[in-house]
Structure 1
Amino acid sequence: MRTHVALLRGINVGGSGKVPMAELRRLLGEEFDDVATYIASGNVVLSTDRDDGTVATTVAEVLRTGFAVPRPVVVLGRDEYAAAVDANPFPQVTEPKELHAVFRAAPPGDDERARIDAAVAAERAKGGAGEAAVVGRVVYLHLPGGIGRSELGARLSARTRAADEGGTARNWATVLKLRDLLG
């Protein structure tokens, strides 16, 4: 059996997408083994023999039927998730709230990469220090003021999520905690 992380987009954020974690664990436990959640923002670790795509479809179906919350789900196996953590292009950043990873269902295409580059160039032109880098299907954001105050962060997180309806951002503290939960 393989261990996976399922990242649910827009769960328990801003008063919408209400999903009680105990009930989510119970319903997912009917489909998967070793189900655990981390904080209430849609982070699930589980075990199954199913492939990532089937896991994502099943988790999305549980959200839709069990909670009337249709949301995209991004799933990565333990090895792919660990590789994404190791591929962090900003290892010098030690403050977790300044580093975010936007996990996507698919790698950004050429048009999306061009929009990311343009957003970073606009950040530079305004004297901002934010940075973005794409590695595989993860967009890493170094936002020295934090995501809440960053024009670059707002622009990129909205664009990268909208591009494939499956991207979801996590701060680096959450990224590392999920890696630890994957074992």
Structure 2
Amino acid sequence: MTTKKPAPTTYAALLRGINVGGKKKVPMAELRTVLEGLGHTDVRTYLQSGNVVFASPRTDPDDLARELESAIEAHFGFPVACLVVDGPHLRAVADACPFPAAELEGRQLHVTFFSRQPAPERFATLDQAAFLPEEFRLGDCALYLYAPDGLGRSRLADALARPAVVKGLDVTTRNWNTVVKLVELTGS
């Protein structure tokens, strides 16, 4: 009797803080090689900012993230925080967007991905009215941020990045165009 191998799941690994301002340089070709060396297949990168899609028969995104973090540190010589999410979760995040994404520019809408669901109390001290027209909404292990002038000028993004809000969580943010492309690349 032969045992059937499980079908691979397609994941997106979101690396935090690489290739920004000449620091933590991670060439995408080398990153693909690192993932292939871990036994992952169909490895593709998107942009230079740390988005890599791959297939794996393994089913625990947290284990995959820790393995990738270790491999990146061993290969490149510095730590890089990674979040790994599967294609269906990416699709669910995109589908649940509370803002009219089709009417906005990609630079105006961002999704912050969390390693686990943050308690709503973390955000209770933020006076959302003080930041209008910027707004945020919590989703499933995600936060949607509408910043009409872009992330670089967002006072709300700065407030959301305070240690009281993100302490103990692995977080990374992508603009809406990147989220949509990752959904497409994972085939979700």
Q: TM-score, normalised by structure 2?
A: 0.88
* Deviation per residue, 1:78-109 (Å, 9 max, x gap): 11111011011102542110000000101112
* Structure (1 or 2) with the greater helix fraction: 1
**Deviation readout 1:28-84 (Å, 9 max, x if unpaired):** 111111111101101010000112111111111121111122121111111111101
Amino acid across the alignment from 2:176 = W
Instruction: State the Cα distance separating 1:112 from its structure 2 match.
Output: 1.6
CA contact (8 A) 2:134 2:148 kept: yes
Q: Is the 8 A contact 1:161 1:167 kept in 2?
A: no
Gaps of 5+ in 1: none
* Structure 2 spans left out of the alignment, 5+ residues: 1-7
- Radius of gyration: which is bigger? 2
- Residue 147 of structure 1 corresponds to which residue in structure 2? 151
The Cα shift of 1:162 comes to 3.8
CA distance in 2, matches of 1:6, 1:161: 23
| 1:65-144 matched pairs, under 5 angstroms | 65-92=74-101, 93-115=103-125, 118-123=126-131, 128-144=132-148
Distance in 2, Cα, partners of 1:9 & 1:94: 25
The answer to whether the Cα contact below 8 Å between 2:114 and 2:141 also exists between their aligned partners in 1 is yes
CA contact (8 A) 2:122 2:165 kept: no
- Percent identity between matched residues is 39
TM-score, with structure 1 as normaliser: 0.90
Among 61, 64, 68, the alignment partner of 1:55 is 64
- In the aligned structure 1, how far is the partner of 2:137 from the partner of 2:163? 14
Q: Are positions 1:23 and 2:30 aligned together?
A: yes
Looking at structure 2, the residues matched to 33 and 57 of structure 1 have their Cα atoms a distance apart, in angstroms, of 18
Q: Using the alignment, how far apart are the partners of 2:163 and 2:105 within structure 1? A: 24
State the secondary structure of the residue aligned to 1:18: coil
CA deviation string 1:125-153 (max 9, x = no partner)? xxx30000001110100001111111112
2:51 aligned with 1:39: no
Distance 1:28 1:175, change over 3 A: same
RMSD: 1.7
1:164 aligned counterpart, secondary structure: coil
